[in-house]
Chains A and B, each alone.
Chain A
Amino acid sequence: MTPGSYVVEVIVENKPLAGDPEGETIHQNLILKGGYKQVTGVRAGKLLRMNIEANSPEDARAIVRKLSDDLRIYNPAAHTIQIRIVG
């Protein structure tokens, strides 16, 4: 347990079925047109980077998980989220 300040990222993406016109456009009209044929897919999303005071990285993650659900940082009808500790 190391109380301190943690950097936690939340990545919000559309669920696969909800489509991602922005990611598809970046892929088709920028990356593939630019000649990077190795790139087989692009997803665009939203990134929130939060600084959190917590007792441990697990604690920081749990706080972010809870606030993401409570305050609807994402809309579960259409989005998924990933939470990761980056610092």
Chain B
Amino acid sequence: MVKVALIQYPGSNCDLDALEILRDVVKARTDLVWHKDLAHDDYDAYVLPGGFSYGDYLRAGAIAATSPSLRIVKEAADGGKPVLGICNGFQILVEAGLLPGAVLRNSTLRFACSWTRLRVETTRTPFTNKAEKGQVLKIPIAHNEGRYYLDKERIPELERSQQIVFRYVSEEKEPTEEANPNGSIDNIAGICNEKGNVMGLMPHPERASLPMLSPDNQTDGRIIFDSMMRTLRGSEA
């Protein structure tokens, strides 16, 4: 049976939400693993949850990125295993160099907490293979440092290599300025590595995976976890 590690850092605070979805909703055998206890690549997939590791000191994710757990996560990523970073988890993956760019303070200089529309830009990742390209998912954000940044001239390269996974879009499915909650370059909400097996996103799919948690009872966030399970069960078969 496939086994998922959900890694806790000091200051993680969305770990139990993600655990509930992984264990009870998509039925993945999941261990909550303290970052210092992750000594071997014994799992089939890794999830880095949201929160404020090390108080966001220096930069969000910068200190957690030096945790020895990241060596294991890198090893797993190099081996092609799925790695998902949500919010602070995304920031950690960027700071650890598993994903390109930087995640800066919101351009509004305010904590952003709202429901957003995400357009699926690629279905090639283990986290989007059950979605359709162009499909729009309603998933909430909650962050102060979510402005994705990469030098402008590198964006076409990111686009060509299908590393842009999600964009913030309007009701008309367009990546407008109004739909961009934090000033991310090119409305980017989530990216993956070149191989596609490491993905990070600022929005919280675990908060949009149970009907009771969504204003219109939808569970759009589930598709990310369901996709991961399809990948893992496929590799098991």
Q: Which of A's residues lie within 8 Å of B, judged by CB?
A: 14, 17-19, 21-22, 25, 46, 71-73, 75, 77-79
Contact = CB atoms under 8 A, between A and B. Distances in A.
Contacts of B101: 77-78
Given A17-B151, A72-B66, 20 more contacts: A14-B104, A17-B152, A19-B107, A19-B183, A21-B105, A21-B106, A22-B105, A22-B109, A71-B66, A72-B62, A72-B95, A75-B94, A75-B102, A77-B100, A77-B101, A77-B102, A77-B149, A78-B101, A78-B104, A79-B102
Interface of B: 58-59, 62, 65-66, 94-95, 100-102, 104-109, 149-152, 183
Q: Which 3 A-B pairs have the closest CB atoms?
A: A78-B102, A77-B102, A75-B102
Given A72-B62, A72-B95, A75-B95, A18 B149 contact: yes
A78 B152 CA distance: 11
Nearest to B63: A71
A44 B101 CA distance: 20
Contacts of A72: 62, 65-66, 95
Of A14, A19, A25, most B-chain CB atoms within 10 Å: A19
